[in-house]
Amino acid sequence: MIWVAITGLVLLFAGVPVAFALGLAGLVGIWIADIPFAIVATRLFTGVDSFVFLAVPFYILAAEIMGQGGITSRLISIAQSATRWLRGGTAFANIGTSIVFAGISGSAVADAAALGRVFMTEMPKEGYSRPYSAAVTVASSIVGPIIPPSGLAILIGAVASISIVDLFLAGVVPGLLAGGACMVVVAFDALRGRIPFPHSSVSGDSALRMVIEGVAVATLPLIIVGGMVIGAYTATEGGGIAVAYAIFLSTVVFRKLDMAGLWNAFLRAARISATIYLLVAAATILSYALNLLGIAEFVRSTAQLFEGQPVLFLLATALLMLVLGTFLDIGAAILIFVPLLMPAVRELGIDPLQASMVVMLTLAMGLVTPPVGVVLFVVMRVGSIGMMPLLRALLPFFFAQLGAVVLLCLVPGFSTWLPYLLNH
């Protein structure tokens, strides 16, 4: 197992694409286990041979269509209108837009890139420092993978045999908790007078129009999750409905999407989906090799050290995922480690939904921490800002969200209350 881990880490830090690094590390494991390489072809196919995985391209396509349809600028205008009377209103609008945008994009990177271009231009004009503007954008972006519909929830559901509907519902409160942690920091800064009032103003007619548009946009995740809760359709069918609704909004309601934009959305969704499927297949090879080498037994014996201490196990899991998230693709980390952790989770009497939310949130936090925090570098590039000033401004938000993680570990109800309320 050590040689497999070394191979994977060396390849990752050498700049080899994640899927190829994982696949090659898996091949090393299969070679060490003295298994014929012919098994690789079979494992590559079975890795993606799941009906649940059919949902992924639909949600990616819906997000791309909404992005091409000018939804980002509308969400920002709506959020700014709602918070223009508050000190720090634009910072609150940044966080609020991230929360709503999360129900569309499902991606921290997409959130940071799309919203960063706007807020990191507007916020300094109102008197915010550039590092503070970037820190708010970075911290709030991690809500993207948590709020449903979430691609990460689909991956966890597929590899851990957990209901996608329950995972979607379980992500609502933790996502709001992570966003709320950011708002607490902004509110504290506002009370101390360290951040300014907004400069923008909105007319009555514009405000009414934005409210209508906001309701139309917010309806998308409600349609998806609501229909799944009442059993009208599956996660995959809900993805298809999301695509149809996104096309309707972008072409008929907002009238911002033409055929060229729609074609670009299809192309981008196809590329991203292909990347994810390649990652899933490669992670399957690595997981198979690690199981051959006895990692499941190693995890089981390690979990016995936490017998009778489920909270301590969750905190240790959160720390591990936080570290892994700094250098490993978040989807790859889920595909490799969640199947290994879930037997221990169930054995310790921990609700799988609670464990899943802890894993998702801490992996997402890893995206904004060095040395290889992807979101961190996206915002640095978008905002033309150095790492150290950004990290100093980010620290209060980071610790606030760590507090949210601890709450998730201590209180199962934050993750389980809504799924059990609506499904049981």
Helix (H, G, I), strand (E, B) or coil at 37: coil
Q: What is the pLDDT along the chain (424 residues), one digit of tens a residue?
A: 677 777 877 777 777 777 788 888 888 888 888 888 778 888 777 777 777 778 888 888 887 887 777 676 777 777 777 777 788 888 898 898 888 877 776 777 777 777 777 788 788 888 888 899 999 998 998 888 898 878 888 889 888 888 888 999 999 999 999 999 999 999 999 988 888 887 665 544 566 676 677 677 777 777 777 888 787 888 788 888 888 888 888 888 777 788 888 898 889 888 888 888 888 888 888 887 877 777 777 777 777 788 889 999 999 999 988 888 877 778 888 888 888 888 889 888 999 999 999 999 999 888 888 766 778 878 887 777 888 888 899 999 999 999 999 999 999 999 999 988 876 6
How many Å apart are CA 46 and CA 39, to the nearest integer?
11
How many Å apart are CA 362 and CA 152, to the nearest integer?
12
How many Å apart are CA 80 and CA 90, to the nearest integer?
6
Residue 349: CB atoms within 10 A of its CB come to 8
Give just the sign of the alpha carbon dihedral 332, 333, 336, 339.
negative
How many Å apart are CA 206 and CA 77, to the nearest integer?
10
Cα-based torsion angle of the residue sequence 333, 339, 345, 346 in order, rounded to the nearest 10 degrees: 160
How many Å apart are CA 141 and CA 373, to the nearest integer?
12
Give just the sign of the alpha carbon dihedral 132, 178, 320, 313.
positive
How many Å apart are CA 242 and CA 177, to the nearest integer?
25
Residue 390: CB atoms within 10 A of its CB come to 23
* Angular region, 17: left φ>0, alpha ψ -120 to 50, beta rest: beta
Give just the sign of the alpha carbon dihedral 395, 401, 407, 412.
negative
Residues 322 and 365: beta-carbon distance below 8 Å = yes
